[in-house]
Amino acid sequence: MVENLSRFRFHMKRTRVVLVIVILFSGVFGTIYAVNSWISVPVGSAMLIVDATTKSISDPIIGPAGGFYINGFKKMLGLQYGVSVYIATDTFEGTIACFSSDQLEMQIQVLIRWSLDASKLKALYINYPSLNYKQKTVQSIMEKTIRFVTKNFTALETIAFREGVSRTIEEEVAKAITKEASLGDAVIDLSLDVKNIGYPKKYTDAIEDKLAAEQAKIQAQFEYERTLTLARAEAESKIIVANGTKEAMRTIISITGQTNSTRIAELYLTLEALKTMAPNTQSFIVIFGSEGIPLVYPLTTNSTAP
């Protein structure tokens, strides 16, 4: 009886130990399973659940989100996993070396922005399992398109029509990326900015020297035309004065009957002096005598000439 009781107690103790071990194991396993099953998706991202056994890809889980979306056991075995994809505004900025139609190397600095359509992520992931579409396709298309566009312009045209060239680059790159079948229409809200078109220093120095020479030429031409205009104006003024002098002398000859050139000149100078004095003195009348001698009679407000 005592022996049976001892055996019973031994079995109960062993059972309790086994139960404790099972409970502990279940708790640890359950915790590990739960941790591996939990998926957290941040804002601006989406999550695809990929199952290697069934070859299936789930619909995207849009962040922010969290839940037991995955089979923890399969995840521990590497048979199921989550793929996080950034779908908010992404960017790529770089400088692309290209050539003009006259073989001048240029450095085109660009900034491209885009977002991803979450509903098209499955197709994008199938084509790009490493999600390297940015480097493999977007960047590649941009470089090829820009190099193709710049070959249609000379270096001087890219300077003279800079805005038009930049706009052509932006339009052609957007068109090429939109048409790329491997992206599966996943790339949306695409925009491209040409930030700068750089040229070799020797070329820019040559352009600056040429512009400076052209400005100097324009300035020299302006000074020449200005000097010529002033000279013409002065000549015309002298002609007008000469013609006036000639007419004045003819008038003196007709009035005085003088033929002596010296006397005519004296009379002309006298009249010019009187004309100069007139604004600063009272009114007067000039009468030429028989000898051509001018007689000056001042006038008062109420006086009249004799």
pLDDT digits (tens, 9 = 90+) for 243-273: 667 777 777 677 666 667 776 776 677 767 6
Q: What is the crossing angle of helices 162-179 and 139-150, to 10°?
A: 140
Q: What's the mean pLDDT in 161-187?
A: 92
Q: What is the pTM of this model?
A: 0.57
**CA–CA gap between residue 102 and residue 16 (Å, rounded):** 90
Tokens of 189: 């809200």
**Taking 70 as the threshold, does the pLDDT of residue 52 lie above it?**
yes
**Taking 70 as the threshold, does the pLDDT of residue 155 lie above it?**
yes
Tokens of 261: 């050139």
Tell me which of 183-187, 224-228, 237-241 is least confident: 237-241
**CA–CA gap between residue 227 and residue 233 (Å, rounded):** 10
Q: What is the pLDDT of residue 251?
A: 73
Kindly list the domain boundaries of the chain, sorted by start residue.
2-86, 93-199, 206-298
Q: What's the mean pLDDT in 64-80?
A: 85
**Taking 50 as the threshold, does the pLDDT of residue 97 lie above it?**
yes
Q: How confident is the model at residue 69 (pLDDT cuts 50, 70, 90)?
A: confident
Element (H, E) at 16: helix 2-37
Q: What's the mean pLDDT in 56-80?
A: 87
**Contact (Cβ atoms closer than 8 angstroms) between residue 71 and residue 49:** no
| Top-confidence residue, 15 or 160 | 160
**Contact (Cβ atoms closer than 8 angstroms) between residue 129 and residue 52:** no
Q: What's the mean pLDDT in 201-215?
A: 71
Tell me which fold the domain 93-199 belongs to.
Answer: Tetrahydropterin Synthase; Chain A (3.30.479)
Q: What is the pLDDT of residue 306?
A: 44
Task: Give the residues across from 107 on adjacent strands.
Answer: 97, 198
H helices of 38-138, where?
A: 72-76, 121-127, 133
Residue 165: CB atoms within 10 A of its CB come to 21
**Taking 80 as the threshold, does the pLDDT of residue 134 lie above it?**
yes
